[in-house]
Amino acid sequence: MSAINVLSGGAAQGLVAQLAERFKAQTGFGIEGAFGAVGVMADKLRGGTPADLIILTRALVTKLADEGLVMSASIADVGTVETALAVRAGDPRVTVRTDSDLRQVLRAADAIFVPDTKASTAGIHVAKVLEQIGIGDEVASRLKIFPNGATAMRQLAESSARQPIGCTQATEILATPGIALSGSLPPGCELATMYTAGVATRAANAREARVLIDLLTGAAQTELRQRVGFAG
C-alpha cells in the first residue's frame, strides 16, 4: 500500500493515529514516518529525510518555510497543546495552583519523567521551569529523560518508583495507557504551544498531504482534537 511520510512532533501522534483510517478511505494511502522531539524532526527534514507532511510548532514550521523546506501556502494551524503533569493511573492526582505547589510536588517525587530537555518543546520548558522555581540542581538526579514525551510517559506507566510524576504535552499523556492527566502547570509556569502542519517542498505526495492537513484542521474534527488534547 502507498503511504505518505510524516515528520511530526510527538504531540500530534495520537490525533494522526485517530485519523489514519479516514485518510486511507479518502486517498487509499497509509501514514508512515516519525514522531518525536520537534527539534529532531526539523533536523531530519533539513538532513534530507523523505517527508510529505510536517507537524511541528508554528515557530519551527515558519522557520522551515523561510528555509525553503515547507510550502508557505500549505501551512495551517492544528491547535494548541498544553504542557501538563501526569501520574500513574492508580496514583493520587496532584493539585498545583502556584509555583510553590509545583515546587513541593516535584520535591516530593522520587522520579520525574520528561522528554528531551534540549530538543523537545515540553522538555525544554520543564528544564526552564525547574530553574525558574529554584530546584533545577536539587532534582537533577531524579530526572528520567527520554527521547520524546510518548516514551517518557510509557516509562512512567511502568515505573516502580514510590512517587513518580511526569511532565509533557497533554496529548501525549492522554494517548498513553496506564497514566492520567493530573493537571496544568500553574500561572507563570504554563505553556500552550501551537502546532502547525505544512507540506514539505520536496513532497512526493503533496496532494495526499494536503488531504491530511484538511482532516487535521477541519471543523468536522473539532471534537476529536479536543478529546485528544488540542485546544483552539
DSSP symbols for 55-123: EEEHHHHHHHHHTTSB-GGG-EEEEEEEEEEEEETTSPP----SHHHHHHHHHH-SEEEEE-TTTSHHH
CA distances from 119 to 88, 173, 189 (A): 25, 18, 19
> Does 146 share its domain with 86?
yes
> Does 160 share its domain with 209?
no
**What is the extent of the structural domain holding 41?**
3-80+193-231
CA distances from 41 to 10, 38, 69, 96, 146 (A): 10, 5, 13, 32, 15
CA distance 22 to 109: 41
> Does 86 share its domain with 180?
yes
Bridge partners (DSSP) listed for residue 113: 144, 166
> Does 172 share its domain with 87?
yes
Total number of domains constituting the chain:
2
> Does 17 share its domain with 70?
yes
Give me 98's grid cell.
Answer: 502556584
Give me 50's grid cell.
Answer: 523523505
pLDDT digits (tens, 9 = 90+) for 196-212: 999 999 999 999 999 99
Stated pTM of the model: 0.89
pLDDT digits (tens, 9 = 90+) for 102-132: 999 999 999 999 999 999 999 999 999 999 9
pLDDT of residue 5: 98
pLDDT digits (tens, 9 = 90+) for 70-112: 999 999 999 999 999 999 999 999 989 999 999 999 999 999 9
pLDDT of residue 1: 72
Q: Which amino acid is at 43?
A: D
CATH number at residue 97: 3.40.190.10
The answer to whether 12 and 120 have CB atoms below 8 angstroms apart is no
> Does 133 share its domain with 225?
no
> Does 206 share its domain with 167?
no
End-to-end CA distance of the chain: 34
> Does 127 share its domain with 206?
no
pLDDT digits (tens, 9 = 90+) for 159-177: 999 999 999 999 999 999 9
CA distances from 143 to 107, 152, 189 (A): 11, 11, 18
> Does 18 share its domain with 28?
yes
